[in-house]
Each structure stands twice: as C-alpha cells, then as structure tokens.
Amino acid sequence: MSLRLMGAALALPLLFTAPAAAEDAGWKAPRTEWGDPDLTGSWPVDYLGQTPRQRPAAMGTRAELTDEEYEAALKNARDQQQWIEEEDKANKMGMGHWIERGLPLRQTSLITEPADGRYPPMTEEGKRRAALQKSSWTESVFIWADDFSPFDRCITRGLPSSMLPGNYNSGIEVWQSPGYVAIRLEMIHETRIIPLDGRGPPPAPVKNWLGYSVGHWDGDALVIETTNFVPGVPIGNVGDNPRPVPNSDQMKIVERLTPTGPDTIRYEAWVSDPVVLTEPFKLDFPWQRNPDYVEYEYACHEGNVQFRGYITATSPFLAAEREANWKAREEGQ
C-alpha cells in the first residue's frame, strides 16, 4: 500500500455520468459582480476516472470508442460501482470504498495530442532522468528521502497531474476575487493562486512545486500560463517505462478553461518540456459542476510515520538494528 493511500482521508465515490462537451446554443456565461466571467464552484474530476490518461496503444489514432466499446466500458464501470454495496453487505472495506471511478467518456483518452493520445517520446536527457526517478511504486529498498517521490512525501502531485483524476480525493474548486483566481486542490491540499493583473512570472531562479501561474481572460475563457517549476516531479509514464519522466525547470503549461454551459467547462492544457520530451502534448476533457461534492481533509503530510517505516524496515544500514529487535522479541516471548 502506498504512502498516499495510507494518509488519504476516505471519500465515497460519486456516481456521475459524463457531461456533454458541446457548448449550449445561445448560452452566455454569467459574470461576477466586478464583471469577470464567473467560473466559481466545485468541479471535481472523480467522474473521469474511467477514461485513461493515455490511450491504449492498440487504439492508434481513434479518438472515440465505438458504440460496442462504449457499452462494454459502461457495463464494466457500473459493475465497479456495485462494489461498495457488496462490501457493505459483507461488513468490510475494500477498493469499492476507496476508488472514485464514475462512468467513462466516449473519448478514448484524456490526452488528445499527439494524434495517438499518448505521451510523446522522451529525449535522451528525459530517459536519463526517468531512470533515476524513484518512488514507493518502483523501489523495494529505501534509505533516505530521495528514494521517495514528492507525491510519496505528501508534498505535491505537481502539474499537470494535480488537475487530473486520481483514485480518490479528486476535488477541484475555483474561487475568484477582483484580479485573482484561486484553484483549490483536494489531493495534497494545495491552492494555485493566479493573478490576472498582467504581471509576468518571477525571475527563473524563483521556483515553486506547482510553478508560478499568471492568467488573463480571452472572452469567457480563462487562460493560465505556468512556468518556474521545481524539477523532478513525475509528468507521467512514457511508453512501457515503469519509471515516469520527471519535469525539468523548463516545463511550461498553458491551460484554457472555457465555460460551455451552466454547469460545464471545457478544460484544455498544452504541456511542453523540451528538456525531457521530444514534443508537447495536450489534455482536453470536460468539467462538470457538482455543488454537493464535499472535500475531505487530505490527511497526508511530509514526515508521515510511514515514511520512516519504509526506511527502518528495508535499509541495509539498519539491518543489525532490525536483527537485534527481532532477537529481543523472541527472547521476551
């Protein structure tokens, strides 16, 4: 079990159908009292969990499921939604209580560019950095903090991952005030503060785990440009590589949040990192407002007791101490 699963608060899965991505004809986005398009609200992405981030390679450039594939995907998703009831009847807690999956979209992946819907190939430098990327998913021996990813250490999921569904705690909230937009993230309990006053990013040496974001309005759409990232946060797994490629400090993300109806937003993100990826990629999927979604405390923090447990249980430098503890236990029985 990963550190984040041990530290996460329980949130029950919500059963949503996928929203329509098409814009409502004749609809006008509401305005805040100071005149900006009003995007405020709760926009959890838990219902996107049945649509893979990367398209299965066998699907090639097919952007949508066939009718038969979609019906099969819906049946599989609905079967999974019964797990929670089955577990309740059996008086146990399992993946039915943990995983928030929702129902699948017709689109075959959240990544829509390149045409195959997959992460682009890594550069040679990207391959070198990916080979050094460690986490609780890839290692069996842990010696110190750099054997864990920032996600393991409850620091951040980074971008773009923080805007994408996980297994649970997928809440996203948008807050607005004159000159600012704030995006609150349930998992890892981070908040992105986005100024809209025309300022640029800080100097390159100034970095943040989620980068520094600046925004502007393009009609009703909010456009966010983010740079100045701390390097070393996983972007995603390229191909069959079990170790994800980490971002560099040259990563840039441009997001566009376009309201398409009273309760829908089209979310787009163009991600480029020329140091580790050979070309950019794009994410494109709908958001659905859910005012009834409750964000729970994500009770995971840097220094979690499990962090120490992984090290004391596996580090070769502590082998003698472990042996002595086991011997003392046996003698005390």
Express each pLDDT in 54-99 by its tens digit: 999 999 999 999 999 999 999 999 988 888 888 889 998 888 887 8
Higher pLDDT, 293 or 18: 293
The number of residues in the chain equals 333
Quote the pLDDT of residue 148.
92
DSSP annotation of 64:
B
For the stretch 21-40, pLDDT in tens is: 455 667 889 999 999 999 99
The C-alpha atoms of residue 269 and residue 267 are separated, in whole angstroms, by 7
Number of structural domains the chain divides into? 1
Cβ atoms of 291 and 42 closer than 8 Å: yes
> How high is the mean pLDDT of the chain?
89
At residue 161 the predicted structure's pLDDT band, cuts being 50, 70 and 90, is very high
DSSP annotation of 46:
G
The C-alpha atoms of residue 124 and residue 121 are separated, in whole angstroms, by 9
Mean pLDDT, residues 165-170 taken together: 89
Mean pLDDT, residues 119-145 taken together: 95
Helix 305-314 to helix 319-332 angle (10° resolution) is 90
> Is residue 185 one of the residues assigned to a domain?
yes
Which single residue is written with the structure tokens 């009703």? 220
Name, in order, each residue with C-beta under 8 angstroms of 68's C-beta and a sequence gap of 6 or more: none
Quote the pLDDT of residue 20.
45
> Is residue 202 one of the residues assigned to a domain?
yes
> Is residue 75 one of the residues assigned to a domain?
no
> Is residue 177 one of the residues assigned to a domain?
yes
Q: pTM here?
A: 0.89
> Is residue 57 one of the residues assigned to a domain?
no
Asked if residue 16 has pLDDT above 50, the reply is: no
> Is residue 200 one of the residues assigned to a domain?
yes
Q: Which residue range forms the structural domain that includes residue 214?
A: 29-48+120-302
> Is residue 288 one of the residues assigned to a domain?
yes
> Is residue 266 one of the residues assigned to a domain?
yes
